[in-house]
Structure 1
Amino acid sequence: MVMSVDQLSEPAVRAFVAAVNANDRAAFQDALAPAATMSDDGTERDLGEWTEREIFSSAGHMDVESEPAGGRSLLVRYRNETWGEMRTAWDFIIDGGKIARFETGQA
């Protein structure tokens, strides 16, 4: 079962997922805190380079299956034109209503 973006309980995470699915770079940047960081499969990544490669230039899309931890974690069927579809986990740290950090990896 896939949750609609509107059903996500945490507003910052909802804005993040909506921006990814709309391929909207401006909305994505607006969802992030100024010094946001991220990791992929436990490895620190350059947020700008990673998101360009894994989300924006490859048509990334998040189908959310569930949102444990009060909406600050997601289980997602993530797909893009580079890797196809895989089940991933996403964890978010929120500061001031913005995503300060996210960690993703295969679930």
Structure 2
Amino acid sequence: MVITNIWVMMHDENVYPDPFVFNPERFTGTNPQADPRECVFCICAGQHLAETSLWIQMVLPLATVTISKAVDEDGKTIEPKVEFTTAIVSHVEPFQYQITLRSLRNLALMRQILPDTV
């Protein structure tokens, strides 16, 4: 069995300069960097289904809620400390954040689409 370390591949500074900086523009323009989907999905048959499913899962929350940094009891912003677990599969360590519903209409939409989770 071969387990590829995708995290290392996606953070290779020779391929992606400043890999820890969020910069979507790196994949557009006259000299775009390598498309990470080609490495992650290895051009698999289910790539389009996976991308579409991920898109829907990301867009629904972004369209209906505001996700922001948490604030303390004095109203000051709490800067999250970005840390990752170290294992075969790496995850972001828990951190504080704030989710605010944009409207009650959005709550009804989320309950319609995700009835068992909202």
Normalising to structure 1: TM-score of the pair?
Answer: 0.29
Higher strand share: 1
Relative contact order (alpha carbons < 8 A, sep ≥ 6): 1 or 2 greater?
Answer: 1
Of structures 1 and 2, the larger Rg is shown by 2
